[in-house]
Structure 1
Amino acid sequence: MLFPRSLPTSRHLDALPAFYRLNDVTRITALSRSTVYRRIAEGRFPEPVHLGGRASAWPSAALQAWIDDPQGYRRAKPEP
């Protein structure tokens, strides 16, 4: 299976992490760092949110939306 059907879970945890860092995103999606950022620029992958300083991560819901339909995913256009 190329893409997992859902984000990884642990039997010991009741909730998923709220955010995933780049290392987790590349592991979960099997995409390289450069491919992730190229697809972000093309609108074909969710944008990370800035957590403060130089830290950024992907919300689990946004990442799950991409996992559910990687070929059909398109980022919503921002309102003007």
Structure 2
Amino acid sequence: MLFHQSLPKPNPSKAPPAFYRLRDVMRITALSRSTVYRRIAEGRFPEPVHLGGRASAWPSAALQAWIDDPEGYRRAMPQP
């Protein structure tokens, strides 16, 4: 008897997600949670945006800017 496994359906949308949650950020960057938040405090990693309630995530454009130049990334500091 032959068993047929159903293959996962291809994702029709090739667009990246608009936001990445911490779990995804840690997987993509290979940084630990503590390292991500330490670098945020130092201005060397993008800050997450609050999505509502207790949810926060990183915009894909901000994360891509860090990926493009992780050592040279500096968050723009707000002007007084």
TM-score (norm 2): 0.84
Deviation of 1:13 (Å): 2.0
Equivalent residue number for residue 19 of structure 1: 19
- Matched residue of 1:77: which SS? coil
What's the RMSD between the two structures over aligned residues?
Answer: 1.4
Tell me, in whole angstroms, the C-alpha distance in 1 between the residues paired with 2:72 and 2:40. 14
When Rg is computed on C-alpha atoms for both structures, the one with the higher figure is: 2
Distance 1:29 1:67 in 2: 8
Residue correspondences, number: 71
Kindly indicate whether residue 52 of structure 2 is the aligned counterpart of residue 60 of structure 1: no
Q: Which runs of 4+ in 1 moved over 6 A?
A: none
* Identity within the alignment, %: 85
Of the two structures, which has the highest relative contact order with CA contacts closer than 8 Å and spacing of 6 or more? Answer: 1
Q: Give the alignment of 1:1-80 within 5 angstroms.
A: 12-80=12-80
TM-score when normalising by structure 1: 0.84
